[in-house]
Amino acid sequence: MTANVKISEEELVSALKSGDQKSLGILYDNYSAALFGVIMRIVESQENAEDVLQEVFVKIWRNISSYERSKGKLYTWLINIARNSAIDSLRVKDYKIKSQIRNIDDSVNRINKQQSLSIHPDHIGLKALVDKMKPEYKLLIDKLFFEGYTQEEASEELNIPLGTVKTRARTAIGQLRELFEKEKAIIK
């Protein structure tokens, strides 16, 4: 195609800056293999590397006016664009994966909270039993069981260490069990 065209780096840059589309083909023929190699080492997937290479040439075309020969060779400038684009593509991919995980976690938490709110503890008198507990246990039980908080969330909300939350929750459940047994004995 244009691989046989002999053109100096200076002439190539000048043609690119003037918007000559044929010069982009020459640039591609002369540099795409090297740029692809750099990208491939970073993204490690041929399909992704091909996508990044395409983005790189679009960036080069759009930003050629910012290239200054006095700051370095064209090849170095091209390699930097390719390397940075490859790294950016990994960051975007990583962000998307983390975002999907966060969305799944949020959905699970919402479902868990909705399910825990659909249980009516008053039907078995549990709320009345909880009201008889010490305030620090009552508050924790309210957060964990009636409002659907996780232990970590309750720790943050109440500004107490996670270990304390776990210990109080265990103690509170034990107290609830005792109160429940006493209520059952009274009813019989």
Domain boundary among 73, 100, 127: 100
Token representation of residue 48: 């992704």
Q: What is the CATH number of the domain that holds 78?
A: 1.10.1740.10
DSSP H or E segment with residue 130: helix 126-131
The CA–CA distances, whole Å, from 161 to 69, 143, 150, 158, 171 equal 59, 15, 13, 9, 16
**172 assigned to some structural domain:** yes
- Considering the domain architecture, whether residues 95 and 13 belong to the same structural domain is answered as yes
Does 50 fall in a domain?
yes
Same domain, 58 and 129: no
pLDDT score, position 129: 77
Whether residue 88 is found in the same domain as residue 166: no
Report the number of distinct structural domains present in the chain. 2
Nearest to 168 by CA among 156, 160, 177: 160
Which ranges of the chain have pLDDT less than 70? 1-5, 94-125, 187-188
Q: What was the pLDDT predicted at 99?
A: 63
Choosing from 100, 130, 157, the residue where a domain stops is 100
Domain end point (choices 100, 133, 150): 100
Domain span including residue 64? 9-100
137 vs 176: CA distance, rounded Å: 10
Are 89 and 168 found together in one domain? no
Instruction: Evaluate if pTM is beyond 0.85.
Output: no
* pLDDT score recorded for residue 123: 47
Give the CATH number for residue 133: 1.10.10.10
In a domain, 108, yes or no: no
Tens digit of each residue's pLDDT (9 = 90 or more) over 83-111: 999 988 888 776 666 666 665 655 555 55
The first and second tokens of residue 25, run together, are 């083909």
